[in-house]
Structures are given as C-alpha cells and as structure tokens.
Amino acid sequence: MKRLQERLQGTEQALDRLQEVIEISIPSMVERDAGIQRFKVSFQAAWKTAKEYLYRVEGLDVVSPKGVLRSSRELGILSEDETALGLQMTDDRNLTVYAYEEQLAEEIFYKIPQYYQLMREWMRRISGRVC
C-alpha cells in the first residue's frame, strides 16, 4: 500500500504542475508545448497509479492504459462517459508524438483542461477507496 500512496502523491504533484499551465489565459507556444509535456507526464502518472490500485486493492493485473480505464469503469470508479473521455485522452496522449504539427498541438492543448478534470476526479475516487 505504501507504493500506491507514493504513486497517488506523485500523480497529485504532476497534476498540480499541469494546472499551472492550463490556468494561463493566453499561452505562448512555449507554454502550450510545456502544457502538452505536462499532460503526458500527468497521464502517465495517473494511469500507472490506477494500475497499481487495480493490482494491490482489486487483485487485477492490467497492463495497458485503455485496459486500466475499462477496468476502472467496470469497478464503478469511472462512468461510461468518463471512460469514453479517458479513451480519447489516451489516443490524444499517443498523438503528442506529433505535437510539432501546429494544428494538432492546438487541438490537444485545448482538450487538456477536461482531461485534467478527469484525471483529478479519477485519482480522488481511487484515493477515497484506499483511505
């Protein structure tokens, strides 16, 4: 359980850093790119935390981000709509490799606030089940 608590704390810190960028009302290109990078880090931390929760608490060994999202839905941690948004978030995270494409970078950046809210709520719910 200690490892899960550490992951929860690390994810909260990553989300705090992401929040700093999404609160910028008119971001520069550098700030936008930093936001995309922070989104990637936050996403990685969130799904790995959920994976750890599923393994340690629920006894499920799920290996992929989409599998973790689906398992979270099956356990009532996420709703159907939240899971659909999470699957879209996973696809967008995968597309960040192409963030040098201006239009794609803009599209992903402007979705980040809703992804941020989803990750915050996901972690809050997991934390509530652990404590």
* CATH of segment(s) 2-130: 1.20.120.330
Residue 97 has pLDDT above 90, yes or no: no
Write the pLDDT tens digit of every residue in 6-19: 999 999 999 999 99
Q: For the chain, give the longest Cα–Cα distance.
A: 44
DSSP code at position 96: G
Name the H helices within 23-101: 29-56, 65-74, 80-95
Write the pLDDT tens digit of every residue in 74-95: 999 999 999 999 999 999 999 9
With 0-12 / 13-18 / 19 or more C-beta atoms within 10 angstroms meaning exposed / middle / buried, residue 92 is buried
Domain ranges of the chain: 2-130
Query: Can you read off the two tokens belonging to residue 48?
Result: 């790995």
